[in-house]
């Protein structure tokens, strides 16, 4: 039997509400009416704060604005077409309805695809969906592919199909160990920033110019393989999603990186005596809405020289 009911002569009756109880109910209702908007506001602010903290780590691809003029997505409209092409490709690159194949699983091939529009965003994040696969067994495949934010485009060369002594940022997905003395496990992802003076040493797998890197099992995988490159306020972050968990895993995190605006995004790949299929399924660029100090307004970002303030950054890698 509840507190508001009692039995009387076999009948259930509800007692009259006293004046004190009625007054308490009115006061509680008034308090609820006053505090409800405040609680809703606090709840909204809390959600906004948590959302901001989450997006500050790495965008999920939905909360930030995708820049279509710098993105390569199916059905690959504006790729290599004569009417205002957004992407140009050369070499062995082959365009299909499902992927852009930079190299087939054949020896001595080089291919590339480059965005035709320079990027003037100071803060950005690039998501790459890719696939590396072939018939070669362990250590009998190669060489890998590279992602670029560079001053010059469509310049074939020895660095995964692109020119050496480049200006800008390169992220290498290297699948073959040229240095037989290394204990590093391949495939290996690494980052390099160049002002045009550094040479990439294939014999040492780029270790002399590498900023940081990590091992990632990305070849002949049955899972979707993704890479994210984020540059914001001098901080370079590279993450992978290759385990089918729909989660980003940290690979590279370096501060003190300076990159200019006005460079081009691209992807290149190369094979030598060994080979693989190197496929790009999508490249999606997102603009990051980040506040900068007032002094940044006086900087000509197109004139900045690519550099890293700390040459020996913590690598967080397995050598």
Q: What is the 3-state secondary structure (H, E, C) of 32-94?
A: HHHHHHHHHHHHHHHHHHHHHHHHHHCCCCCCCEECHHHCECCCCCCECCCCCCCEEEEECCE
Measure CA of the first residue to CA of the last residue in the chain; give whole Å: 73
Measured between alpha carbons, how far is 232 from 89 in angstroms, rounded to an integer?
28
Instruction: Note whether 167 and 316 are within 8 A (CB).
Output: no
Express each pLDDT in 250-287 by its tens digit: 999 999 999 999 999 999 999 999 999 999 999 999 99
Give yes or no for residue 127 having a pLDDT over 70. yes
Express each pLDDT in 57-107 by its tens digit: 555 555 458 999 999 999 898 787 766 689 999 999 999 999 999 999 999
Predicted local confidence at residue 80, as pLDDT: 78
DSSP category for residue 301: G
Predicted local confidence at residue 282, as pLDDT: 97
Give yes or no for residue 153 having a pLDDT over 80. yes
Predicted local confidence at residue 125, as pLDDT: 98
CA distances (Å), 116 to each of 74, 78, 109, 285, in order?
Answer: 17, 10, 23, 14
Q: 5: pLDDT confidence band, cut at 50, 70 and 90?
A: very low
Give yes or no for residue 177 having a pLDDT over 60. yes
Predicted local confidence at residue 137, as pLDDT: 81
Give yes or no for residue 46 having a pLDDT over 60. no
Predicted local confidence at residue 140, as pLDDT: 78
Instruction: Note whether 152 and 262 are within 8 A (CB).
Output: no
Higher pLDDT, 304 or 53: 304
Measured between alpha carbons, how far is 180 from 128 in angstroms, rounded to an integer?
30
Predicted local confidence at residue 259, as pLDDT: 98
Give yes or no for residue 109 having a pLDDT over 90. yes
pTM of the model: 0.78
CA distances (Å), 20 to each of 17, 26, 34, 177, 223, in order?
Answer: 8, 10, 21, 84, 68
């Amino acid at each position: 039997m509840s507190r508001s009911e009692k039995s009387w002569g076999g009948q259930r009756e509800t007692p009259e509400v006293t004046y004190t109880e009625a007054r308490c109910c009115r006061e509680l209702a008034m308090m609820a009416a006053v505090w409800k908007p405040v609680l809703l506001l606090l709840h909204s602010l809390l959600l906004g704060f948590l959302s901001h903290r989450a997006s500050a780590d790495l965008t999920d691809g939905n909360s930030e604005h995708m820049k279509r003029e710098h993105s390569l997505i199916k059905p690959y409209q504006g790729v290599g077409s004569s009417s205002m092409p957004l992407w140009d490709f050369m070499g062995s690159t082959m365009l299909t309805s499902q992927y852009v194949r930079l190299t087939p699983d054949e020896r001595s091939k080089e291919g590339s695809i480059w965005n035709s529009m320079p990027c003037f965003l100071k803060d950005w994040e690039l998501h790459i969906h890719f696939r590396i696969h072939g018939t070669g067994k362990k250590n009998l495949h190669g060489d890998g592919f590279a992602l670029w934010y560079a001053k010059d485009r469509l310049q074939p060369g020895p660095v995964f199909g692109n020119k050496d002594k480049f200006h800008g940022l390169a992220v290498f997905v290297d699948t073959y160990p040229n240095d037989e003395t290394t204990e590093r496990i391949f495939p290996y992802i690494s980052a390099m920033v160049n002002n045009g003076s550094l040479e990439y040493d294939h014999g040492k797998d780029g270790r002399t110019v590498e900023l940081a890197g990590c091992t990632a099992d990305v070849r002949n995988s049955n899972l979707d393989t993704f890479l994210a490159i984020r540059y914001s306020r001098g901080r370079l972050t590279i993450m992978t999603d290759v385990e089918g968990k729909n989660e980003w895993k940290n690979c590279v995190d370096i501060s003190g990186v300076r990159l200019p605006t006005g460079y081009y995004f691209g992807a290149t790949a190369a094979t030598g005596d060994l080979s693989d299929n190197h496929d790009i399924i999508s490249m999606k660029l997102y603009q990051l809405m980040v506040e900068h100090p007032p002094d940044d307004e006086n900087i000509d970002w197109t004139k900045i020289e690519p550099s890293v303030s700390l040459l020996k950054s913590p690598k967080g890698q397995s050598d």
